[in-house]
Structure 1
Amino acid sequence: MFLKNYRTVILAGAIIAAALILLSYNLRYDTGAGVLKNMILEAATPFQKVFNASVAGVENAWKRYIHLVGLEEDNRKLKSKITALQEELILYKEGNLEAQRLKKLLSLQDAYGHRFIAARVIGKELSVVSKTLWIDKGKTHGLKPGMPVLVSPGLIGRLTDVSWHSSKVLLLIDENSNVDVLIQRTRVQGIARGAGTLGCVLRYVSKIQDVKEGDVVVTAGFSNIFPKGLLVGKVSYVNRMGTGLFLKIHVAPFADLSSVEEVMVLAAEQQESDQRKMKEE
């Protein structure tokens, strides 16, 4: 392959070398120097041109190769910089989204006037038999079983198991969850029980009561767990045609419980203060 590509260059070089040898011999003995020299130079001139052109071509090709190697290195560096900038942009977006979520959580303190403890979700169980979360705060942070857990704009569940550095949250949609609630518009009372993918079902509401889709549901404050007025969800379905005494009502929680990443836990001392006020009233 090499001989085929550079055959012309090699041939021209050989001829020129032979011409130079003959010329040197001719000049040394000065035998017909003028005529023989002219003949050799005339014969060698075309090959000299080819040789020079070939050498120039090889030189230019080498220069282009060196240039392309430099461009490839520059391209690699640019790609590396672009990758680094893309990673920084992703981190910036993630940080910005987290800041927005935390801002919404902090707004709960202004909305409800309570003291909250922020926590991150470190585990989820959204199976058929259990709807729970695990958070990264526990007894060492002042948490206790029964404390309400919220995200913006309202309630998502309560603490059940609390260890030193983590806690389990029983979600509103778990079938073991029962919350005393009110229809905000009409003050109709009922119990919101977890119903999995349906959200919650509102139980023990008589068919004569005024309840309609879109009504906001809030905590009633009758128990020692949930203070009055925490947002729970909206009525998503009302059926008055059943055979029983009570309406069939579905309540959709305000929060998307499958995408919760941070939560706010209502402080125990705040709950106790609210309960004392209710007793005094």
Structure 2
Amino acid sequence: MSFSKGRRKLVFAIVLLLISVVMLSISILNPAQETHLFRKVALESIAPLEGVVNKASAQIAGVWERYIFLVNLGEKNRELVTENHALSKKINDYREIYLEYLRLKELVGLKEKTDYPTVAARVVGRKQSPIFETILIDKGSADGIRVGQPVLAVEGILGKVMEASWHVSKVLLLVDYNSNIDTLIQRGRAHGILQGAGEKGCKLKYVRRTEDVKIGDLVVTSGLAGVFPKGLVLGTVYSVEKKETGLFQEIQISPAVDVTRLEDVLVVLKDKGGQG
């Protein structure tokens, strides 16, 4: 019903417009000194329609301007998003460079404290198997690295070189079950053997029941076996158990070095020629 009503209005407006145009044409073809009646009627009829047309044109122009504005705004937004991604990447790159600088600065400090020549290396892989737990570093025999040489991190001892090719070496970690190191409990000077225990960290074996050992005690290298320099940090006691029978305590050690976060290491060359 409303559609028919709107249609009638449209037809009426068109007819009125045509009549006005015809009347205006007649008045133009037959000009007089005074405004012709037809011309007057035409002008009176066209004026409201012209206002409607002008208003519609203005609205269309406004819509078009808003459309152009939104298109430009969308393009500008895409440019800003691209620029933001580029800036975020640069910031991340600078952060990585800064963190690497801090790591290398700490490594240089460790190098200066070590009495032996050292070679800095980067961790390039980690391998876990039922037999060995190891990491790979990007330096080898061409850099003076030999089997048996100690490998250090800023926090302490990491392990020792197990294999060395020309430019890559495999390091046996402290937590490996095949790792055994002669140690001292720093506070009480009790001797023991640090043995790898896999996910549990390490065990400190052969410490007599009579020795004073407490949770939090620091364990360091004794220097007796000739592999590791004396006094290097190995880890911290986190569990002590004295059973009613037996000669030795059961002591659990948390390694000083978190291998999962390790990126850079020092390999200790035990003589200036790099021989182990």
Tell me if TM exceeds 0.5: yes
The DSSP-based 3-state class of the residue aligned with 1:269 is coil
Q: Shift of the alpha carbon at 1:200?
A: 1.1
* Equivalence for 2:228: 226
Pair 1:118 & 2:120 matched: yes
The DSSP-based 3-state class of the residue aligned with 1:252 is strand
* Equivalence for 2:50: 48
CA distance in 1, matches of 2:244, 2:92: 52
Q: Shift of the alpha carbon at 1:24?
A: 2.7
Identity %: 40
TM-score computed with the length of structure 2 as normaliser: 0.88
Task: Select the residue among 103, 108, 112 that pairs with 1:101.
Answer: 103
Task: Select the residue among 241, 244, 247 that pairs with 2:243.
Answer: 241
CA distance in 2, matches of 1:46, 1:129: 97
The letter for the 1-side match of 2:27 is: N
Pair 1:269 & 2:257 matched: no
Q: Summarize the Cα distance change of 1:139–1:145 in structure 2 as closer, same or farther, 3 Å threshold.
A: same
CA distance in 1, matches of 2:12, 2:221: 100
The letter for the 2-side match of 1:171 is: L
Q: Shift of the alpha carbon at 1:21?
A: 4.9
Q: Shift of the alpha carbon at 1:15?
A: 5.8
Q: Summarize the Cα distance change of 1:15–1:93 in structure 2 as closer, same or farther, 3 Å threshold.
A: farther
The letter for the 2-side match of 1:151 is: A
Instruction: Report if aligned partners of 2:123, 2:137 keep a CA contact under 8 Å in 1.
Output: yes
Alignment of 1:75-90 (within 5 A): 75-90=77-92
- Write 1 or 2 for the structure with the bigger share of helix: 1
Pair 1:213 & 2:215 matched: yes
Q: Shift of the alpha carbon at 1:220?
A: 1.1
Q: Shift of the alpha carbon at 1:256?
A: 0.9
CA distance in 2, matches of 1:103, 1:139: 25
Q: Which runs of 4+ in 1 moved over 4 A?
A: 7-18, 270-273
Q: Shift of the alpha carbon at 1:242?
A: 4.6
* Equivalence for 2:37: 35
Q: Summarize the Cα distance change of 1:219–1:15 in structure 2 as closer, same or farther, 3 Å threshold.
A: farther
The DSSP-based 3-state class of the residue aligned with 1:228 is coil
The DSSP-based 3-state class of the residue aligned with 2:231 is coil
* Equivalence for 1:3: none
Q: For structure 1, list consecutive stretches of 5 or more residues without a partner in the other structure.
A: 1-6, 276-281
Instruction: Report if aligned partners of 1:27, 1:33 keep a CA contact under 8 Å in 2.
Output: no
Instruction: Report if aligned partners of 1:144, 1:268 keep a CA contact under 8 Å in 2.
Output: no
Q: Shift of the alpha carbon at 1:128?
A: 5.0
Q: Shift of the alpha carbon at 1:56?
A: 0.8
CA distance in 2, matches of 1:12, 1:88: 65
Instruction: Report if aligned partners of 2:220, 2:230 keep a CA contact under 8 Å in 1.
Output: yes
Task: Select the residue among 60, 66, 74 that pairs with 1:64.
Answer: 66
Task: Select the residue among 203, 206, 209 that pairs with 1:204.
Answer: 206
* Equivalence for 2:174: 172
How many residues get paired?
268
Instruction: Report if aligned partners of 2:134, 2:171 keep a CA contact under 8 Å in 1.
Output: yes
The letter for the 2-side match of 1:175 is: Y
CA distance in 1, matches of 2:53, 2:180: 96
TM-score computed with the length of structure 1 as normaliser: 0.86
